Amino acid sequence: MRNRNYISIFFDDEVPLLQAVRKLRESNEIITDVLSPFPVHGLDEALSIKRSRIPVVGFIFGAIGAILAFGFQAWVFTVSYPLIIGGKPFFAAPAFIPITLEVTVLFAGLSMVAAMLIRSKLKPDIRFVPVDKRITDDRFVILVEAADAKTTLMRVKSVLSGIQTIEIR
Amino acid sequence: MLQSPLRPPLIEGNKTYRSITSDILNPMMNKAGKYWYLGMTISGLAMLFGVFMIFWTVWQGIGTWGENRTVGWAFEITTFVWWIGIGHAGTFISAILLLFRQKWRNSINRSAEAMTIFAVICAALFPLIHLGRPLLTFFIFPYPNTRGLWVNFNSPLVWDVFAISTYFTISLVFWYVGLIPDIGTVRDKIKKGLKKNIYNFLSFGWKGSARDWHRHEVTSIMLAAIATPLVLSVHSIVSMDFASSIIPGWHTTIFPPYFVAGAIFSGFAMVQTLLIITRKAMGLEDFITPSHIENMNKILIATGSIVALAYMTEMFMAWYSGVEYEHYAFMNRATGPYWWAYLIMITCNVVSSQLLWIKKLRTSLAFTFFLSIVINIGMWFERFVIIVTSLHRDYLTSSWTMYKPTIVEFGLLIGTLGIFFTAFLLFIRIFPVISISEVKSVLKISGEKQHKKDLSHEK
Amino acid sequence: MDEQFNFKKQYRNILLIVMAACLLVLLAAILISRPGASRIWANVLLNNQFFMGLSLGAAFFLAVHRVALSGWHTVLQRLPEAMTTFLPIAFILMLLIYFGMHHLYSWTNNDVTDKVMEGKKAWLNVPFFFIRLVIYFTGWIVLTRMMRKNSSALMTSSDIKYHNRRKLFAGLFLVFYAITVSSSSWDWIMSLDAHWYSTIFGWYVLIGMFVTSLAFITLLIWLLKRLGYLKYIRPDHIHDMAILLFCFSIFWTYQWFAQYELIWYGHLPEETSYYITRLKDFKVLFFVNLGINFIVPFFGLITVNSKRQLGWVAFIAAIVLIGHWIDYWLMIMPAAGGDKAGIGVLEICMTIVYACVFIFIVLRSLSTGPLVVKNDPFLEESLNYES
């Protein structure tokens, strides 16, 4: 037990993981994080993770893209340099729709990915070290906050007595 | 999530999470076999040939092509539309099938998306070459210049620039977002060295936290939602390059949806070609099962039938319109000097895809592989027929002419095929061909073990 | 799971009274305001097309889901199945058009002597028109009946052969429908503007039909839940209905735009005539149509929460249903309604009369058997569906 302020509980399947999460939350332990090799169905609910607002970001930026694209085309052909093209009016709205759609999608898509990377603090980093190398393979880990490692370890062990864990440390 | 026992398992063999990881990663991390080197050599040579022909075109000018004053668009734009179309299947699989919760897409989406990106790269080359002076590419983007003139936003060709660059960007981002967790898996499998550092860098520090997964899932589904109108719009805009003109045979309102259906049709054919080889070569038969192939064949029947319906509608409307130019354009298409191209198009697209109604053929891998190549040829000819037959009979009979491609133009087609396959071969050595995390997430629902349990439970 | 809809006398009476009242108002309106035979016949055609479209769209919904081996829709499949039972009545109503042919279709008048119309004679002539009509309806009625019959067989027997047979008929229906929905819309709607043509027209009508039926199925779920049935239909199922309504409303807009954009861009007199009549006299409706059918479902159903509230989805569905009625109106009335075309008492009352008949038929056929197909191999999956 080095000087750590959390305890890791290892599983090799998501079913005991979910049971453990529910039990730990019932006994008021603070779960700092749950790590898994794939998105576990039902985990969001068990951890009561609120639905992400990334779609809102996408909507706002998409709307900005739409206004920018449509406005720019309209400005170019009515104010900046009006040209008669194919006998169409200067403000040829139907012809501006395709580019407006494309720019909307581009803005919405890029902004959502950016939001995801920023919120999850994901960035290229050579020095990154994972908690366990097998998390991306077949290990599921619960990290529990522990002010005092020893007593929390005892407590967690008793809470999870009936559940199939690989290791608790 | 309960699954009806009627559904065949999506993953065969008694897999565990660990064996999924190793089954997908091993063929990639082990030394490449001699067939891989053979493939690389052939496609590399094809690519070199194409690069030389691009160089030759730029050096000598567009006069090295077979185009003339009447048929100003022919081989290159055909190949351009063909490549763009092939790209569409990737987005269809990753976006539309995700929205409609088709779980079988999980083991094919990664390679299909990669295929999309490479196909769009091949397609985007053609407008560049077609400019004749690739250095002046920036002319097609709206930028403030000394003359105060902007690009023509009313032109479908400018819409194309926006559509294709957006399509490429969003597909790339979508693909990479999906790759991040799997790059993490690769990172953790490599012990040390430069390779480890590179994968560590590329993995963006993925740790698999529940919150990260949640955001990852939300972002993926939202990207799918916005990629759906995108994929429809891209080929619609490509179709408007033709349909917004008033040339008989081009100007018809069915073009946008019909081109989209045709694009998905040809794209799925290319996915079939690639996956039937990949699953064999990399030993991924458990993940890409015959039922995956059959499902894709069903999409081929559907889209092939839509294309056939569009051919019929066009023919009927040309007659029904009572416009003599429309009459002529369509009669000339089927019975004029390019009747052979029309025949190839009908045989390869309509007749061949209808054979898939027969279950025996639909489930046969050898036949599917053969058919997928036939369909790709057919779809190339579809664009050729539309473009060349409408142009070669000009408004003035004195300008009527014929078009014959030159070796340079064939070189460009072969070259882009080379680029495409080289890129794909590199991809299967660098990144996992199957989305590991997504396959793991369906193992409990639709793995073989679970399936057997469901069946026994039913009895 | 043997829950059965009880079509109480009270419900029947409400429908019959509303229908009778509207019928009376309708007759009075016709006698007093004398709208002209063209407008009356155009209304008959409009409502025939709209309510037939509800049935056909429902059949398309079933066929697509069955061919795609969809599981989730299993719990609600009896509702679209019931909607298809209106088709025989639609057949009779469509045959009535025979008496109004001259008021609706200019090509039936023999004195037309223009070259283009001469060329179309082989397709646009009265006998062939009705031969095609009979073929369409025979195919649709037979195939939808077979689909429904095999579903009903699964209530008592658990033999998988009924499931497979149902799938086979779904496939046959899709092929037949894809061809006939195009050609029937050319016959019944496009030939009202006898010179005009547009290749996308059939597909545009098809998607419109599909959207109206999605909206109607949602409303039917809402109604039955209000009456205390369908307890097992959860927000997850509503979510998927809403996604379909949302996506296909956008897809409808895409088709609308493809047709408009290309005709606007090409600017050929043969083609623009269609939009010129509609934009000149019915400018407001023209944009209302686009607004209701695109903007309302787009912004109304864009968030996850809004897709899971049955009441809200049903509200949007009701607006979309009206929107698509206006869409048909814009296809039919400017061409066939005569000088007095508009939306008035005549239009509203006739639509309500049709709607009462339609709802009566649907509810009656729902009451003939359980609301859930007990032995459907996908039932368990559908009951436990999570979206």
Helix (H, G, I), strand (E, B) or coil at A9: strand
B213-224, pLDDT tens digit by residue? 999 999 998 998
Domains and CATH numbers, chain B: 17-452 (1.20.1630.10)
With bands split at pLDDT 50, 70 and 90, how would you rate the model's confidence at A1?
very low
A19 within some domain? yes
pLDDT in tens, B382-418: 999 999 999 999 888 899 999 999 999 999 999 999 9
In a domain, A154, yes or no: yes
Instruction: Tally the domains of chain A.
Output: 2
Is the Cβ of A86 closer than 8 Å to some Cβ of chain C?
yes
Burial pattern B244-282, b for ≥16 Cβ within 10 A else e, equals: beebbbbbbbbbbbbbbbbbbbbbbbbbbbbbbebbeeb
Per-residue pLDDT at B457 = 57
Q: Would the pLDDT of B124 be above 80?
A: yes
pLDDT number for residue B287? 87
Asked if residue C51 has pLDDT above 60, the reply is yes
Please give the pLDDT value at position C2: 72
- CB pair distance less than 8 Å for C381 and B4: yes
**Contacting residues of A for C267, CB less than 8 Å apart:** 86-87
Domain match, A141 and A111 both:
no
Chain A nearest-CA distance from B320, in A, is 28
| Alpha carbon distance, N-terminus to C-terminus of chain B | 20
Could you tell me if residue A103 is inside a domain? yes
Compute the average pLDDT of residues B179-191. Answer: 89
Same domain, A59 and A25: no
With CA atoms as reference, report the closest residue to C361 among C2, C119, C12, C8. Answer: C12
Is C249 buried (19+), middle (13-18) or exposed (0-12) by CB count in 10 A? buried
> Residue C106 contacts by C-beta under 8 Å, 6 or more apart in sequence?
C112, C194
**pLDDT above 70 for B118:** yes
User: Over 60: is that where the pLDDT of C168 sits?
Assistant: yes
Residue B1 has a pLDDT of: 60
Segment A33-50 mean pLDDT = 86
Are A109 and A139 within one domain?
no
- Indicate the average pLDDT of chain C: 90
Q: With bands split at pLDDT 50, 70 and 90, how would you rate the model's confidence at B281?
A: confident
Q: Please report the pLDDT score of residue A167 as a whole number.
A: 81
End-to-end CA distance of chain C: 22
Burial of A85 (C-beta count, 10 Å sphere; 0-12/13-18/19+): middle
C378 close to B (CB below 8 A): yes
Q: Residue A110 falls within a domain, yes or no? A: yes
Q: Are A103 and A153 within one domain?
A: no
State whether A91 and A145 are in the same domain: no
Provide the pLDDT for residue B459. Answer: 45
Strand partners, C31: none
pLDDT interval class at A133 (50, 70, 90): confident
Assess whether pLDDT exceeds 90 at residue A163: no
Q: With CB atoms and an 8 Å threshold, state whether B323 touches C270.
A: yes
Mean pLDDT of C53-69: 92
pLDDT on residue B41: 94
Does residue B451 surpass a pLDDT of 80? no
* Of A62-66, C101-105, C156-160, C163-167, minimum mean pLDDT range: C156-160
Report the residue from A51, A59, A94 with minimal CB separation from C264: A94
Q: Is the pLDDT of residue A66 over 70?
A: yes
Asked if residue C39 has pLDDT above 70, the reply is yes
User: What integer best gives the mean pLDDT of chain A?
Assistant: 87
Residue A3 scores a pLDDT above 60 = no
Residue B150 clears pLDDT 80, i.e. is over it? yes
Best mutation target among C197, C247, C271, C304 (most B Cβ atoms within 10 Å) is C197
Which domain, by its residues, includes A104?
54-119
Q: What are C126's two structure tokens?
A: 């009265």
- Rounded alpha-carbon distances, angstroms, from residue B325 to B251, B396, C197, C268: 12, 12, 15, 13
> Is the domain of A111 the same as that of A143?
no
CATH, residue A10? 3.30.70.260
- The pLDDT value given to residue B455: 61
Q: What percent of chain B has pLDDT over 70?
A: 97
Q: Measure CB to CB from residue A122 to each of B158, B204, B440 and give the nearest one.
A: B204
| Residue % of chain C over a pLDDT of 70 | 99
For B233-265, the pLDDT digits (tens) are 999 999 999 999 989 889 999 999 999 999 999
Q: Tell me: pLDDT of B453 over 70.
A: no
> Is the CB of residue C83 less than 8 Å from the CB of residue C210?
no
Around A165, how many Cα atoms within 13 Å sit in the side-chain half-sphere? 21
Assess whether A70 and A104 both reside in one domain: yes
Give the helix/strand (H/E) hosting A143: strand A140-145
Q: What is the mean pLDDT of residues B267-274?
A: 91
C-chain residue closest to B307, CA distance: C178
The token pair at B319 is: 């007659």
Query: Do A86 and C265 make contact, defined as CB atoms within 8 angstroms?
Result: yes
Mean pLDDT confidence for C230-238: 89
Two structure tokens written together for C248 = 């296909």
In this complex, the chains that touch B, judged by 3 or more CB pairs closer than 8 A, are: A, C
**Chain C CA closest to residue B232:** C254
> Same structural domain for residues A61 and A114?
yes
- ∠ CA A16-A136-A48, nearest 5°, is 50
Tell me the mean pLDDT in the region C28-36: 87
Query: Tell me: the pLDDT tens digits for B77-110?
Result: 999 999 999 988 888 888 888 877 788 888 888 8
pLDDT reported for residue A4: 61
pLDDT tens digits, one per residue of A135-162: 888 888 888 888 777 888 888 888 888 8
Question: At C147, which amino acid appears?
Answer: M
Chain A hits for C260, Cβ within 8 Å: 94
**Residue C116 confidence (pLDDT):** 82
In this structure, is residue A62 part of a structural domain?
Answer: yes
| Residue A42 domain flag | no
pLDDT at B450: 67
Any domain includes A88: yes
Q: Tokens 């078009």 appear where?
A: B403
CB contact under 8 A, B4 and C377: yes
pLDDT mean across residues, chain B: 88
Q: How confident is the model at residue C250 (pLDDT cuts 50, 70, 90)?
A: very high
Do residues A130 and B207 touch, judged by C-beta distance below 8 A? Answer: yes
Tell me if B433 sits within 8 A of B111, measured CB to CB.
yes
